[in-house]
Amino acid sequence: MATRDHEPEESSKKIQYPLDAKAYKILDEIGVGVSAVVYKAICVPMDSILVAIKAIDLDQSRADLENVRRETKTMSLISHPNVLRAHCSFNVDCRLWVVMPFMSCGSLQSIISSSFPDGLPEPCIAIVLKETLNALSYLHNQGHLHRDVKAGNILIDSDGSVKLADFGVSASIYETNTAPGWGQSTSSSPLMLTDVAGTPYWMAPEVIHSHNGYSLKADIWSFGITALELAHGRPPLSNLPPSKSLLMKITKRFRFSDYETKKNFKSKKFSKAFKDMVASCLHQDPSNRPSAEKLLKHFFFKNCKGTDFLVKNLLHGLPSVEERFKGGKNSHKNGSDGEDTGSELVKQRRISGWNFNEEGFQMEPVFPTEAKDDTVVKQVRFGGETIIPDNKSSGSDYSGQCNLSSPKQDGEEAQVVTQGESEGDNRELTASASESMGGSGGDGGEVDREAMVGGLVALRRSLDEQRQQVSNMIVLLGGEVSREDQLVQLNDRLRMELEAEKQKNFELEMELEFLKLQISGAYNSGGTD
Query: Is the distance from CB of 429 to CB of 459 less than 8 angstroms?
Result: yes
Contact with other proteins (CB under 8 A) among 9, 359, 446, 529 = 9
- All residues at 6 or more sequence positions from 107 whose CB lies less than 8 Å from its CB, including other chains: 151, 152, 153, 154, 155, 156, 165, 337, 338, 339
Residue 529 makes contact with other proteins by CB under 8 A: no
Buried b or exposed e, range 120-135, using 16+ CB within 10 angstroms:
bebbbbbbbbbbbbbb
Site string for other proteins, 132-161 (x = CB under 8 A): --------x-xx------------------
Instruction: Report d(CA 164, CA 86) in Å as an integer.
Output: 12
Catalytic residue at 148? Answer: yes
Contact with other proteins (CB under 8 A) among 34, 41, 52, 96 = 96
Residue 90 makes contact with other proteins by CB under 8 A: yes
Contact with other proteins (CB under 8 A) among 88, 171, 197, 459 = 88
Interface region with other proteins, contact rule CB under 8 A, candidates 70-78, 254-262, 390-398, 450-458: 70-78
Minimum distance from CB of 302 to other proteins (Å)?
20
Of the candidates 326, 355, 316, 297, the one whose C-alpha atom is nearest the C-alpha of residue 121 is: 316
Residue 15 makes contact with other proteins by CB under 8 A: no
Site string for other proteins, 194-233 (x = CB under 8 A): ----------------------x-----------------
Which long-range CB contacts under 8 A does 121-126 form with residues at least 24 apart?
A: 121/313, 122/231, 122/270, 122/271, 122/274, 123/305, 123/309, 123/313, 124/230, 124/309, 124/310, 124/313, 124/314, 125/227, 125/230, 125/231, 125/274, 126/274, 126/300, 126/301, 126/304, 126/305
Residue 191 makes contact with other proteins by CB under 8 A: yes
The residue among 90 and 309 lying less far from other proteins, judged by its C-beta, is 90
Instruction: Report d(CA 466, CA 471) in Å as an integer.
Output: 9
Minimum distance from CB of 488 to other proteins (Å)?
45
Minimum distance from CB of 165 to other proteins (Å)?
17
Instruction: Report d(CA 521, CA 527) in Å as an integer.
Output: 10
Minimum distance from CB of 141 to other proteins (Å)?
9
Minimum distance from CB of 89 to other proteins (Å)?
4
Pure H helices in 185-304: 205-208, 217-232, 244-254, 257-261, 272-281, 292-296
The residue among 73 and 305 lying less far from other proteins, judged by its C-beta, is 73
* Site residues for other proteins per CB under 8 A: 1-5, 7-9, 11-13, 16, 19-20, 58-59, 62, 65-66, 68-69, 72-73, 76-77, 79, 88-91, 93-94, 96, 140, 142-143, 174, 177-178, 189, 191, 216, 291
Which amino acids are annotated catalytic?
A: 148
